[in-house]
Amino acid sequence: MGFVAKPTLLRVLDRLGALATLLLPLFLVHWRGIVEGCLDGLAVGFLLRSALTRDWSWCRQGFVWPALVWWAWLVLCSLPRQMPAPAEATASLTQALLAIRFPVAAFALAFWTLQDSGTRTWCRRLIVA
């Protein structure tokens, strides 16, 4: 069996995911907008990588389904109760629908970027520093 190189797109996704992961501890307290972008990038990158590799095994892990049930409950509680829906109700529903990015970003950290020992080591160093 020979060495099989990763396709270029997966290598790029892995590097961008590692970069986004390493930016999180640097900007978490200040410049929250950068962290929001990193979390969104991690979530989208993770789902794209899962689709490209057809590896959805992370869905069977213990804390994935409770997180998704929490998100579904959040969306259910944000559904407009009257028609036509007031602008505030629509904004609440939109915010609840977009909240899926937080658990998916956590899944990305747990099952993708922090699986790499180099990224884990650098993240640890940045947090300690």
At 64, list the tokens.
């994935």
3-state secondary structure of 56: coil
Record the pTM: 0.85
Question: Could you give the angle at the alpha carbon of 38 between the alpha carbons of 37 and 39, nearest 5°?
Answer: 90
CA distance 46 to 115: 13
Q: How far is CA 46 from the centre of its chain?
A: 7
From first to last of its 129 residues, the chain has per-residue pLDDT tens of 455 557 888 999 999 999 999 999 999 888 989 999 999 999 999 999 999 999 999 999 998 999 999 999 999 999 888 788 777 888 999 999 999 999 999 999 999 999 999 999 999 999 898
Name which of 54, 58, 45 is nearest 11 in CA terms. Answer: 45
The whole-number pLDDT of residue 64 equals 92
CA distance 33 to 75: 23
Q: Where are the alpha helices (DSSP H) in 54-86?
A: 64-77
